[in-house]
Amino acid sequence: MTASGSLIWSNREPPIAISSAAELDRALDQIAIRLQRDRPIIATLAAHDAEALIGVGADLSFVQLQSANGDGPYWITSSSTTEPDVVAFWLHGDHHTEVPRRYLLAPSGARAALREFLASGTKLPGIAWVEVGS
């Protein structure tokens, strides 16, 4: 069963209503097409009284799960890299946000995690997650 959600990707555009994984993928594809290659964004999917943030438009991505009010703790994807650098994203296209590379994974994995969140409100098994802010 898929829940409905709302995808916020820009402070200048209305949220996009999402009611299926196919709609979510279409919306993310269309958003990625509109982005400047050097300015990836963080979009927010609100569903299940929680939020999932996803990096869109970069070679690597991430997903962060948090309560709807943003209070911690929250969960973020994790990778095996030990590289100390960061990748810059822009939250909803405006707010510069640096994400440490240790939280980044392939966009296909991030998309799968976001689809699982939409469907169940939970973390996707098989992807490494770390709790932050507890």
Residue range 10-68, pLDDT digits in tens: 999 999 999 999 999 999 999 999 988 789 999 999 999 999 999 999 999 999 999 98
Structural domain harbouring 106: 5-132
Number of domains in the chain: 1
Q: Quick one: tokens of 104?
A: 């980044």
Q: What confidence tier does 2 reach under pLDDT thresholds 50, 70, 90?
A: low
H or E element in which residue 120 lies:
helix 107-120
At 92 the pLDDT is 96
Rounded CA gap, 70 and 119, in Å? 20
At 81 the pLDDT is 82
Examine the pLDDT at 71 and tell me if it is beyond 90. no
At 50 the pLDDT is 95
E strand map for 27-70: 41-47, 50-56, 63-67
Give the strand pairing for 16-18 and 41-47.
Answer: unpaired
Mean pLDDT of 128-132: 94
